[in-house]
Chains A and B, each alone.
Chain A
Amino acid sequence: MMGAPAAALEGGFADPVLDAQSVFRTIMDAMARPGSVLAMKPLVVPPAPLGSAAGAVACTLIDADTPFWLDPMLSAHGTLGAWLGFHTGASAASVPGSSHFALIGDPMAMLPLDQFAQGSQDYPDQSTTLILQLQSLSEGAPLTFEGPGIKGRSTIAPKGLAADFARQWRDNAKRFPRGVDLILTGTDAIACLPRTARLIQAEN
């Protein structure tokens, strides 16, 4: 880490073992109950513009086995890549299609979902998990989902998604069992959309 600014070294988990466990349980519960918004304590302080919720998810799941990809908005801040490298041991993937995790700071302008690794029919698990940083998980246009993990229907209102997200997400579902999974992060909460979450209603 020669020459890395102090900002790249500070702000990780205070208790790496138990903090990672508690964040993972939140992610696991959110993935098992798509569309439910779960609170997330600010356990890490990543360099701007990455928020603490997205940063905590990254520190919990990413390591040397899983290259990450940053969207142009996040990769423009050099300290952030160094911070993730220092706290997770992971290296950056050169192209989104070879990344295990993709961090998206500007979901409105993000690459289409089919540009990320989709997995294969034989190994559908070998797909990218996208960590999206949104302005809010409750103040946007409502999206209603059905599927495994959802009792009846669940509605979430993420603010700051791409304009054609509904169409992209329906296409993602058509690729099942291939496809990407999303971890949506707000300032102090997360929600998950696994590929099985069927979008049945979108207002716009």
Chain B
Amino acid sequence: MNAQQRTSTYNFAYLDEQTKRMIRRAILKAIAIPGYQVPFASREMPMPYGWGTGGVQVTAAILGPNDVLKVIDQGADDTTNAVSIRKFFERVAGIATTTKTSHATIIQTRHRIPEVPLTAGQVLVYQVPNPEPLRFLEPRETETRKMHALEEYGLMHVKLYEDIARNGHIATTYAYPVKIEGRYVMDPSPTPKFDNPKMHMSDALQLFGAGREKRIYALPPHTQVVSLDFEDHPFEVQRFDKPCALCGAEQVYLDEVILDDRGNRMFVCSDTDHCESRRAKGYRGELGGAQ
């Protein structure tokens, strides 16, 4: 949580001002048309596509000197992608960073939503690889654009139906399509579907940036986000048999960790900050050690 000295040879937050204005205008349109993908002139960033260039550009365009930034990669603050993006903004914007969800004003995420509910002052920025939910069903942009324009989403229901026909249940577990305010079908980015209900009526503003695909979209706070399903096959989130092995949390998303080469494994919180805060409060799971 200590502000770093900024590298002054770059503009504040790396991007030039014209680029920021272009992204800012796209963000405002995205907020005004929730779930609609606004095209934007995505820039080359000092990291390859696929490493969060869309999220980084959105964060750079909204970031101010008083913001506190948290970056998570699959819920974890300590993996390569999260650490390097945090360091990038410490260096080019001199801002404070944190791993604590409750301290952050901007949280950039690659595919998880923190377990603790977000608050009104926070902005969640998603790094999105494939913003078009219909792309794997229809490769032509001209056609998917028309399908969104005409609100023609039958194909998506066919895909979910085929899941049921083949597997007996909807087998889509991440990037699970959602409908926004009864209008646009949106890809929630490849978050586990466990997180879909957290998007619904969230207190925080949610922004989505896809750098390679050059799209920005948004969910204002208090916006209706409904996961697509069928009456006889309602939407369900993943369930876990056991609580977190380290902190004992239930109703959270767990990662599988292999412990040795004899088949031993444990399931622990994917949200590292949530797990650490619980352990600091004295909660223990079966492998969490003595209290």
Q: Could you list which residues of chain A lie within 8 angstroms of chain B, going by C-beta atoms?
A: 16-18, 20-22, 24-25, 27-29, 31-33, 60-66, 100, 120-125, 129, 147-151, 176-177, 181, 194-196
Contacts and interface: CB of A to CB of B under 8 A. Distances in A.
Nearest to A101: B25
B255 interface: no
Contacts of B146: 122
Contact of A149 (B27, B148, B220): B220
Contacts of A64: 18
Given A122-B146, A125-B36, A25 B31 contact: no
Given A17-B17, A31-B31, A150 B222 contact: yes
A11 B83 CA distance: 41
A184 B195 CA distance: 35
A28 B63 CA distance: 12
B52 interface: no
What range describes how many residues of B lie at the interface?
Answer: 35 or more
Contacts of B184: 177
Contact of B25 (A16, A29, A66): A66
B65 A18 contact: yes
Contact of B221 (A16, A33, A62): A33
A32 B25 CA distance: 13
Nearest to A149: B220
A129 B64 CA distance: 24
A108 B33 CA distance: 27
Contacts of B148: 122
A180 to B, nearest CB: 9
Interface string B15-42: 0011011101111111111101011000
Nearest to A65: B22
Given A27-B28, A194-B31, A177 B17 contact: no
Contacts of B222: 148-151
Contacts of A24: 20, 24, 61-62
B150 interface: yes
Contacts of B33: 124-125, 177, 194-196
Task: Determine which residue in A129, A149, A151 has the highest number of CB atoms from chain B within 10 A of its CB, and name it.
Answer: A149
B149 interface: yes
B29 A125 contact: yes
A61 B20 CA distance: 9
A4 B238 CA distance: 66
A17 B12 contact: yes
A32 B24 contact: no
A68 to B, nearest CB: 12
A18 B64 CA distance: 7
A181 to B, nearest CB: 5
Contacts of A194: 31-33, 220
B98 interface: no
B221 A151 contact: yes
Given A28-B24, A149-B220, 13 more contacts: A17-B11, A62-B21, A65-B18, A66-B25, A124-B33, A125-B33, A129-B28, A148-B34, A148-B181, A148-B223, A148-B224, A194-B32, A196-B220
Interface in B97-154: 145-146, 148-150
